Structure 1
Amino acid sequence: MKSNLRHLRVFQSVAQSGSVTRAAETAHVSQPAVTQALAKLERLAGQPLFLRRPQALFLTHAGEVLAARVARSFALLDPVLSDLAPRLTLTASSAQLQALIATREAENFTLAARRMGLAQPTVHRAVSQLEQEAGRALFERTAHGLVATRPAQALAQAARLAFAELDQAEADLAELLGREVGRIVIGAMPLSRSSLLPQAIARFRKRRPTLPVRALDGPYADMIAGLRRGEVDFLIGALRDPAPIGDIVQVPLFDDRLQIVARSGHPALDLPNPTLTDLMAYPFVVSPEGAPARTAFDRITGRAGHPPSLVETGSMVLMRELLQISDHLGCISQTQIAAEVRLGALEPVPVDLADTTRPIGLTHRADWLPTRAQGEFLEDLRTVAFESPTISL
């Protein structure tokens, strides 16, 4: 649907006016051009977008769905285009904006062209056209490559989100035809990968066996950046207090707490009533600095004395294997380690860490509107969080 922004603007004009004639005047094109644009959009949508009556054109249900997404897309894009140059709301094309995004990310025309599968002159020309309309340079040449100016960064971000909205429109329209288009992209923090996410995916797959689901892992900062660019639909895991930025929403699902675990036969398990101070005699495996679990660990060990050594890792596999071959103890989410405890791979050390409780939940953009499939997946997550005895505490 984002293949031709001009066609979408014509569609929006017809949707608002109900008239091909008035839309042609507003868009400064001929009436046949309006008719051709609508016909192309209907072919792409695979269904009628308008009911054509002698007195006016009226949106079908599919047309209403598309009109809502188009309005959201242009509401993101047009203020930034207008700040650069008012004419850009009429002249900027999808190809030009995609070239801007690719160049901003690659900081090089040749690399941007390679990523887009285009010739370098094509990408350079697209960006140059934007610059001519804007009446200013959008990139500065430095020893390290092309660096986007602040207006170019703002436009690239707005275009990403606008295109993401149009991708959502394509999925919405396909849903009306009983087809599945697009995919669900999840930023999966460590805790979610052990129990919550697998169970939710299994429930979702019973209804939608073919829709692609992609679970990403990585540093929290990278996943938040992907979320804000529209590349990630939502994150699942420990919520931050305070939220790292104002344009995201955090939705709690359940509370979790930390647990100290050890291999079977560990000396700490023989202590009759171990205290946290007792356990500080052993080396620990903990989360990296900055993770909520690590922040809580540092807080409680600040009162009990520090362990003699730390191994920092976000890998459950590394923690489990190191604990099983040494006297290291692990401090980790109770939910995240539940499967290993249940299978006997590790044992909980009976120390109360009630003051390490923290909320686990969803993080998404403040203005995000999920598709039907995404909404179903979110409902599956809520159901698993509510029903599962290994998650609800």
Structure 2
Amino acid sequence: MSTRTGAAIRAHLETWRPYTLAYPGLVGLAGVAADAGVPAAAGGGHTALEVLAAWLCPTLGWLGGHYLGDYFDRDLDAIGKPQRPIPSGRLSPGTARACGLGAVLAAALVALAVNWPVVVGVVLASAGIVAYSRLLKGRGILGNAVRGLLTALAVVFGAAVAAPPRQLPSWHVLPVAFAFLLHDTASNLVGTLRDVDADREGGYRTVPVVRGLDAATRIAAVLYAASVAAVIPYALTAAHPVTGAILVVAAVVAGAWAYLSLLRTPRPGPRLALRSHAVLVGERLVLAAAVIASDWGALPALLLLLPVLTASLLIQRRMRTRHEFPPEAQDSAVVVSPACGDAAPVPAPRM
């Protein structure tokens, strides 16, 4: 393999953010599980093709969103994250745009093959991706909420793909979709905490830019608490309440650690924000698995969760810091305490 080919492959892998790719598919399966109500077995009577489509469509849409998001953010990334594939020149804007549109088209084709009316959901999600990246990302809480809405659509979309043709998903899906809307609005807001300087320079009026880091952290924590409050009643009234409740508690423990670390720190710095968001990337996998476990039972949920959670945590450790921070910022690591936040830089281990 030539050096140029290897660099191109690496640029695409970085754009994929592989530590996040399991999440949309798991959320789609949570939609299937919630729509099934009280299924007799994993899958709730759905065919393997329908379940596969409910996983694959949101995953392809998510992948397309990464490409298109990086395409629309290329000027902003040139300010704060010049090491990323497009501003560094390792991936051309045209290639990113083509790959993003190709992934969205692939999602539409899967929907057409399994349950053709659901292709409307692909169109709505695509419009949401463009609206978020192009227009709303820098418009405060509205941008964060649109990002959360995309995950809520993935829940409904997963349920709709696996539903009988021309039949809407059941109302059981709505509290789950609402919980993930709140959850990802909160986690997206946490993500903005590490980009304040670049966002301000780029003219983005995010919540931490306009209202400050402390206010943004408190808003995110309230939204997260509301998302948990929305999902708990669902988990406790589903077919397997004990299993679902155990996983909800596990997710809440991780989420509480992430948010308390931020709340206890005056003006949390970008590295603490990234560390907390990295925890939330794993926590949301557990929360999605909790919904699946509530309806399908422990074994299917754990078989899905454990490998993707392990992979996500390991890949984040290898890739994420260099994806989020320029090379000069990677030459030092920050010792972080939940009580004191960003401390003095110390030499970073080479990985």
TM-score (norm 1): 0.23
TM-score (norm 2): 0.25
